[in-house]
Amino acid sequence: MQLDYITINGLDEATKERMEADIASSGYKGSKSGYCVLLINEALGYREKLRGITDRAEAEKLFDTIKEEGKAIQALGDRQCRAGIETEINRDLLAQTYQLLVMIADFWNIDHSEVDKGEMTRLPKNLFDKEGRLLDAYDGK
C-alpha cells in the first residue's frame, strides 16, 4: 500500500464539524495535511496502546501492579480520613478548653479581651520552633 500521498473523500459533516471544533480549541495553526497527520499519529498511538498487552503473563503482572497501587491508594485514603477525624476532635477539644478557660478567667476577673479580639495568636516559642522543624522536614530541607 502506497502511503506517500493520501486523499480523503466522502468526509461526513459531523466529522468535519468535530475536526473544526478540535482545530479551534487546540489552536492548531498548521496545514490541513499536517493536522490530518497529527490525528493519524494520535489514533495509531491509541491503537498501539490497545494492542500493547498481548502476553498473559504481562497482563497478570500489570494487574498485580494495579492491585498494589489500589491498596496503597486505599491506605492513603484511610490515613487521610483518620487524620480528618482527629482534626475534628482536636478542634472540638480546643473549643471546649477555650470555653473552660474563659469561665475560669471570668470567675477570677481576669481580662481576656486581647484573646477575644484575636490579638494573641502567636504560637509559644517551643511550638513555633517545632512547626519550623516539621515544615523543613516536609519540604526536604
| CA 84/CA 76 separation, integer angstroms | 12
pLDDT class of 8 with cuts at 50, 70, 90: confident
Burial of 112 per CB tally in 10 Å (0-12, 13-18, 19+): middle
Query: What is the model's pLDDT at position 126?
Result: 96
Please count the CA atoms within 13 angstroms of the CA of 95 that sit on its side-chain side.
Answer: 6
On the question of pLDDT at 140 being above 80, the answer is no
Are 36 and 20 in contact, with CB atoms under 8 Å apart?
Answer: no
**Burial readout 47-59 (b: 16 or more C-beta within 10 A, e: otherwise):** eeeeeeeeeeeee
Q: Could you tell me the end-to-end alpha-carbon distance of the chain, in angstroms, rounded to an integer? A: 60
Domain ranges of the chain: 1-52, 55-110, 116-141
Are 3 and 13 in contact, with CB atoms under 8 Å apart?
Answer: no
Query: What is the model's pLDDT at position 141?
Result: 61
Tell the residue number behind the cell numbers 499536517, with chain if given.
34
Tens-place pLDDT, residues 50-93: 777 777 888 888 889 999 999 999 999 999 999 999 999 999 99
CA distance readout (Å), 14 to 9, 17, 19, 46, 87: 14, 5, 9, 21, 53
Cell of 27: 489552536
Tens-place pLDDT, residues 83-126: 999 999 999 999 999 999 999 999 999 999 999 999 989 999 99
**The model's pTM:** 0.46
Tens-place pLDDT, residues 14-40: 999 999 999 999 988 888 888 999 999
Are 112 and 102 in contact, with CB atoms under 8 Å apart?
Answer: yes
